[in-house]
Amino acid sequence: MDLLNLDDRLTEDQRLVRDTAQGFVRDHVLPDVATWFEEGTFPARELGPVLGSLGMLGMHLSGYGCAGLDATSYGVACRELEAGDSGLRSFVSVQGSLAMFPIWKYGSAELKEEWLPALAAGTAIGCFGLTEPDHGSDPANMKTFAKQDPSGDWILNGSKMWITNGSVADVAVVWAQTDGGIRGFVVPTSSPGFSAPLIHRKLSLRASVTSSLYFDDVRVPASSVLDVVGLKGPLSCLSEARFGILWGVVGAGRACFEAALEYAKTRVQFGKPIAGFQLTQEKLAWMAVALGQAGLTALHLGALKDAGVLRPQQVSFGKLANVRAALDVAREARSVLGANGVTLEYPVIRHMNNLESVLTYEGTQEIHTLVLGEALTGVAAYR
Amino acid sequence: MNIVVCVKQVPDTATERKLRSDDSTIDRSANGVINELCEYAVEDALKLKEAHGGEVTVLTMGPDQATDAIRKALAMGADKAVHLSDEALHGSDALSTSYALSQALKKIGFDVVILGSESTDARTGMLAAMLAERLGVPQLTLASKIEVDGSAISIHRQTDYGYDKVEATLPAVVSVVEKPDPFKPRYPSFKGIMAAKKKPIEKIGVADAEIDPAQIGLAAAWSVVSDFTAAPPRGKGVVVNDEGDGGTKAAEFLVSKKFI
């Protein structure tokens, strides 16, 4: 139920991308995702090769077995994947935008050959280590340190936290302080001194692998360092991933809205479906408006990205506005479902809990608010 | 093997479908999608190609904008497409459609022609038989499985008692039915979608296919829609209150409708 017919703006190819992602979610995700969520698992090894065969990993990159889609297609695919679960979209975002993108953009020819085809096929899994236990919004003060020894090898020490895919990854893109500024390293997870224990007792993104990373004198060759210096390296990756998020959450919100609409039409109280009550209609109308606005924002930012003029503060606008909208829609939808809204029989509370993480990761809503504040006033509040 | 798949773009069954008020033909301005059974035909064609080599050509007849169906078939993996499009074809019924397509097929050449057993718009289900007759080749209809061995082709056709195995020699026309997993149509991969952009789509008109204009279009149609009216809204169902005899009442109802 899209009152604005936004998908009429998509091209034939973008609609095919949408349909393939929808079909994948319908056949491979929706039958089991509530169980994954309840059990706190994500079958990364099983789904990885399927996602790879469909071209969903690194879909917006070119060469090395990647599909080379336009930005709007990438967004549409994220929207449909996240209509399944934010954990699924997180897996695809991390693989494509946070692990593959930096190797593709800043890696040597050897690194690209070594990792990109396997990551695109889903036979290898990647993760991205920036956030640390004590440094989230403030990555410039990260403690993880890499030192080059006389042989030319780099020695990494430190830790990372809240790392999606960490425990199942074959390769980690790790950002660390060096004597010459922040650098990125492509670290095989089989390296001696590397460990990645699972983070347990999450109540959000439960169908997603979240880990800590520890580096205890992890040695990597000089060829594994990425060709970028400073925070702009990791921030450029996050800008890619956030673009996927601002599209993805529209799918999560839509799934909640659809569940609420269907429930309202069939749930009878006081002798008629609750969809016939004004209070419920107001909720449904408001949800449809919020989702339509978020969808329009995503479409517009997709057009800007395809034109090559998308600026980081515009991505912040989209991430801030759309995640907030999706979370509000999920909460409203939950109330339409009454007590049924708190069970995993319906997708709503799963999405709602997931979106609490999405609100925080890849730039908290507070940081994106301050980015907009800086863009508007010219004064940075966090420096 | 030279495989031709006939696909049709139809109005999306998820949206409201209409007939045009001026000439009672199907309104094709609405959201067009590939007919679902045509996707099965494409899948079967691709499987034949994977097993025996050759080339899969997509053939469609429809207005200029009816390219979604072609795009999807190419994205699934078909090699090229021929789009028969001509204002003169508007309003063709099944008989004249089969004539026009048979002329295009003669021009393309084929070892096997595969098509869905019916479309969700007109639902005549007659095209495969008509095409085979016009082309003078065997028809193997309602296939749930296709096998080719040299110049022999055989299909399975589901029946109440199991299945019939129907055999013929190539060239032949095959119509296919819906099948369960793992025989469902593949999704186009993202790489397939990108690759389809570069695949050739040859647009041909009535003259190119040597189609006699007198045998096509609304004027030549043997079937005529003289009038149409919306189906009446469904009446209220019968509510049976179970007072210990619910089963009996339900059975009596089914007997009265001749279900049991």
Residue B197 lies in a domain: yes
Q: Name the pairing type of β-strands B80-84 and B55-61.
A: parallel
How many residues are recorded in chain A?
A: 383
Domain range for residue B129?
2-231
**Among A12, A19, A17, A5, residue whose Cα is nearest residue A73:** A17
| Residues near A341 by beta carbon (within 8 Å), at least 6 away in sequence | A333, A334, A335, A348, A349
**Among A255, A336, A251, A263, residue whose Cα is nearest residue A294:** A251
What is the rounded distance in angstroms from the CA atom of residue A131 to the CA atom of residue A204? 18
In chain B, which residue's Cα lies nearest the Cα of A50?
B189
Domain ranges of chain A: 6-121, 126-229, 233-377
Would the CB atoms of A16 and B72 count as touching at under 8 Å?
yes
Would the CB atoms of A13 and B197 count as touching at under 8 Å?
yes
What is the rounded distance in angstroms from the CA atom of residue A60 to the CA atom of residue A82? 17
Residue B167 lies in a domain: yes
Q: Tell me how far apart the 2 most distant CA atoms of chain B are, in Å.
A: 72
Would the CB atoms of A12 and B68 count as touching at under 8 Å?
yes
- Please indicate if any CB of chain A lies within 8 Å of the CB of B35: no
Query: In CATH, what number is assigned to the domain containing residue B48?
Result: 3.40.50.620
Q: What is the pTM of this model?
A: 0.90
Interface with A, mutate which of B33, B67, B76, B193 (most A CBs under 10 A) = B193
| B182 chain-A contacts, CB cut-off 8 A | none
Residue B242 lies in a domain: no
CB A238 within 8 A of CB A334: no
Q: How confident is the model at residue A1 (pLDDT cuts 50, 70, 90)?
A: low
User: Which residue stretches of chain B are H helix?
Assistant: 36-52, 68-76, 94-108, 127-135, 190-196, 217-220, 246-256
| A67 chain-B contacts, CB cut-off 8 A | 189-191, 193-194
CB B20 within 8 A of CB B27: yes
User: What is the per-residue pLDDT across B179-198, written as a single tens digit (0 to 9) for each?
Assistant: 887 788 999 999 999 999 99
Pick the CATH number of A233-377 from 3.30.200.20, 1.20.140.10, 3.20.20.70, 3.40.50.300: 1.20.140.10
- Please indicate if any CB of chain A lies within 8 Å of the CB of B193: yes
Residues 86-125 of B with CB under 8 A from A: none
User: What is the per-residue pLDDT across A88-132, written as a single tens digit (0 to 9) for each?
Assistant: 999 999 999 999 999 999 999 999 999 999 999 999 999 999 999
CB B8 within 8 A of CB B63: no
Would the CB atoms of A69 and B192 count as touching at under 8 Å?
no
Give the H/E segment covering residue A304. Answer: helix A278-306
- Please indicate if any CB of chain A lies within 8 Å of the CB of B189: yes
Amino acid at residue number B69:
A
Residue B65 lies in a domain: yes
Number of domains in chain B: 1
Amino acid at residue number A61:
L
User: What is the per-residue pLDDT across A18-72, written as a single tens digit (0 to 9) for each?
Assistant: 999 999 999 999 999 999 999 999 999 999 999 999 999 999 999 999 999 999 9
Residue B238 lies in a domain: no
Residue B259 lies in a domain: no
Please give the CATH topology (third level) of the domain spanning A126-229. Butyryl-CoA Dehydrogenase, subunit A; domain 2 (2.40.110)
Residue B182 lies in a domain: yes
Q: Which CATH superfamily is domain A6-121 in?
A: Acyl-CoA dehydrogenase/oxidase, N-terminal domain (1.10.540.10)
ipTM higher than threshold 0.85: yes
- Please indicate if any CB of chain A lies within 8 Å of the CB of B9: no
Residue B236 lies in a domain: no
